[in-house]
């Protein structure tokens, strides 16, 4: 369909690169998706991998830096279609 932007599928590694760096091709794709120039797709397992990484590496005094509510809000705000 000509009215739809091109679509790209992100795996777990792509998702981490898109969210944790602004100098990667994946981050450029994320910005393009925000602008409606492309459509991004990712499996729920990619999000689960990102959650595991954040919850196990971003800690202060042994406690996760981000709450489940904050991470849920991040997921909902991303221009990604979760499949």
User: What's the pLDDT at 3?
Assistant: 81
pLDDT tens digit at each of 83 positions of the chain: 578 899 999 999 999 999 999 999 999 999 999 999 999 999 999 999 999 999 999 999 999 999 999 999 999 999 999 99
Looking at residue 1, its pLDDT comes to 59
Q: Which of 2, 19, 1 has the alpha carbon at shortest distance from 80?
A: 19
Model-level pTM? Answer: 0.89
Beta strands in 32-75 (DSSP E): 39-42, 59-60, 63-64
Task: Take residue 78 and report the two structure tokens written for it.
Answer: 């991303």
């Amino acid at each position: 369909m000509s009215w739809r932007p091109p679509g790209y599928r992100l795996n777990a590694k792509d998702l981490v690169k898109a969210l944790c760096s602004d100098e990667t091709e994946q981050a450029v794709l994320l910005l393009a998706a925000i602008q409606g120039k492309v459509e991004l797709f990712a499996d729920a397992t990619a999000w689960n991998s990102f959650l595991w990484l954040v919850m196990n590496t971003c800690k202060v005094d042994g406690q996760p830096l981000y709450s489940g509510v904050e991470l849920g809000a991040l997921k909902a705000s991303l221009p990604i279609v979760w499949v």
